Chains A and B, each alone.
Chain A
Amino acid sequence: MVIKHKNIFKTESAWSNADEKLLCLDTGSWRTERPVLDKEKCNYCGLCALYCPPQCMKDMGDYFEADLAFCKGCGICATECPRKAITMVPEGEFADEG
């Protein structure tokens, strides 16, 4: 038998190794709506970031910003914000931005 296959695993058994290969999905592309923040209303309590299931909100020092590469557009941040500082806006409206 002539083996042409190049081994995927360095180990004898099948192990995953995040240092070798951390997988990641483009979940930002799932979004149909995006969270838009009204900084005027925000008081930096961080609840939006805490409740965000993909934990994609970045601490910007005095407000939080969704990382659009991963934000799935669930709208939880907007619903949970006690100051109603976040609005979910259809992605269509940002089409121009590419």
Chain B
Amino acid sequence: MVEKTKKKSRVFNYFCEEDQFAGGVAWCSGCPLELTARFVPKVLGKNVVFVGTPGCAAPVLHGQNVGAWHRLAYMASVMTGVPSKATGLSRYYRRIGQDATVVCFTGDGCATDVGFQPLSGAAERGEHIIYLAYDNEGYMNTGNQRSSATPLGAATTTTPVGKIGRGKTTVSKNMPLVMLMHRPAYMATATLSHLEDFAKKLVKAKEKVKEGFVYLHVFSPCPVGWRINSNMSIEVCRTAVRTNYFPLWEAEDGKPRFTVEIANPKPVAELTKLMRKFSHLKEDGLAELQKAVDERYALVKNLCDAYK
């Protein structure tokens, strides 16, 4: 038998609350969104209020009549109203001295597209709310259509591959940078392979939201839509970090810095081969995607270097 001398992972130390969700909920097998949803309240602790919206999170976050799938205080919203509702809640709770951490929990589609205006507004006003966007790079709940977060070349049901079509023809909106430009009190990217990194960022988020707006962008692959084997979704997160496809960084008071630096980044093909949404890409398509990844990474790196 192996010596049990090794201590349990440090990540457990960040948990200060029980899992708020029922044991069995409707998220697909192996979906990192489920891990995100369960993980966040465990770290944020008491007096969390979630505001959620249509998307893959809604079937679990919204109740069904009197029934609920979780124990969180919760407000459901249409996709256009999430940060504004959170604003209303947070303003009033602060006014009456009620301790509360108000968290918007939406998909990339809501954050980058139809719900972008109020997000930008709330960030500019410096509202005391945490906005967490789980990024599965498309509208998954409605059947894997493209969003502004869908990457170059990806096949979705509205950027399909056909005789002429080769997937999405534009690069994704660089949402973390867009949000950095709002100069939030705190912002970070995170993903599920790097749980301690994620937990630290949540702890910071909870502190910094007392000063102003917090944005968290969580890379959250969709095993079903991206066609990944269900056991591989955490590995996909890890590979996205190791290829610099999804760099892990944060910005406290507007100063960006990497939280994880990759010494020898792997080519993006290492990532794309783990899923089938890029399987139609030939060498040139992959080269274009690599170029987009490099460009984007360089942008963040230059910013980080500038603040060193």
Residues of A within 8 A of B9 (CB): 45-47, 50
Q: Is A74 an interface residue (CB 8 A)?
A: yes
- Asked whether, in the complex, the Cβ of A40 is within 8 Å of the Cβ of B2, the reply is yes
Taken residue by residue from 29 to 60, chain A's Cβ proximity to chain B (1 for < 8 Å, 0 otherwise) reads as 01000000001111111110011111110000
Shortest CB-to-CB span from A38 to chain B, Å, is: 10
Shortest CB-to-CB span from B179 to chain A, Å, is: 26
Q: Closest residue to A74 on the B side, CB-wise?
A: B30
Residues of B within 8 A of A2 (CB): none
Contact with A74, one of B4, B29, B63 (Cβ below 8 angstroms): B29
Shortest CB-to-CB span from B44 to chain A, Å, is: 15
Q: Is B104 an interface residue (CB 8 A)?
A: no
| Complex Cα gap A55–B21 (Å) | 9
Residues of B within 8 A of A44 (CB): 4, 6, 8
- Asked whether, in the complex, the Cβ of A54 is within 8 Å of the Cβ of B24, the reply is yes
- Asked whether, in the complex, the Cβ of B23 is within 8 Å of the Cβ of A54, the reply is yes
Which residues of chain A from 51 to 98 have a CB within 8 Å of any chain B CB?
Answer: 51-56, 62, 67, 69-70, 72-76, 78-80, 83, 88
Contact with B231, one of A15, A56, A70, A79 (Cβ below 8 angstroms): A79
Interface of B is mostly: loop
Residues of B within 8 A of A47 (CB): 9
What band does the interface of chain A fall in when counting residues whose beta carbon is under 8 Å from B?
35 or more
Interface of A is mostly: loop
Residues of B within 8 A of A3 (CB): none
| Complex Cα gap A24–B195 (Å) | 26
Contact with B195, one of A50, A56, A75 (Cβ below 8 angstroms): A50
Q: Is B204 an interface residue (CB 8 A)?
A: no
Q: Closest residue to A33 on the B side, CB-wise?
A: B231
Number of B interface residues, CB 8 Å? 45
Q: Is A18 an interface residue (CB 8 A)?
A: yes
Shortest CB-to-CB span from B82 to chain A, Å, is: 18
| Complex Cα gap A15–B3 (Å) | 51
Q: Closest residue to A31 on the B side, CB-wise?
A: B29
- Asked whether, in the complex, the Cβ of A88 is within 8 Å of the Cβ of B24, the reply is no
- Asked whether, in the complex, the Cβ of B65 is within 8 Å of the Cβ of A75, the reply is no
Residues of B within 8 A of A83 (CB): 2
| Complex Cα gap A47–B27 (Å) | 21
| Complex Cα gap A70–B231 (Å) | 16
- Asked whether, in the complex, the Cβ of A45 is within 8 Å of the Cβ of B6, the reply is yes
- Asked whether, in the complex, the Cβ of A23 is within 8 Å of the Cβ of B68, the reply is yes
Which of the 9-residue segments B140-148, B158-166, B232-240, B284-292 touches chain A?
B232-240
- Asked whether, in the complex, the Cβ of A16 is within 8 Å of the Cβ of B67, the reply is yes
B-to-A contact residues, CB < 8 Å = 1-4, 6, 8-9, 11-12, 19, 21-27, 29-32, 34-35, 38-39, 62-71, 74, 192, 195, 229-235
Given contact pairs A40-B1, A72-B30, a sample of 15 additional A-B residue pairs in the complex whose CB atoms are under 8 Å apart: A18-B68, A22-B69, A22-B71, A23-B22, A23-B68, A23-B69, A42-B2, A44-B8, A45-B6, A45-B8, A51-B35, A53-B29, A54-B24, A72-B29, A74-B233
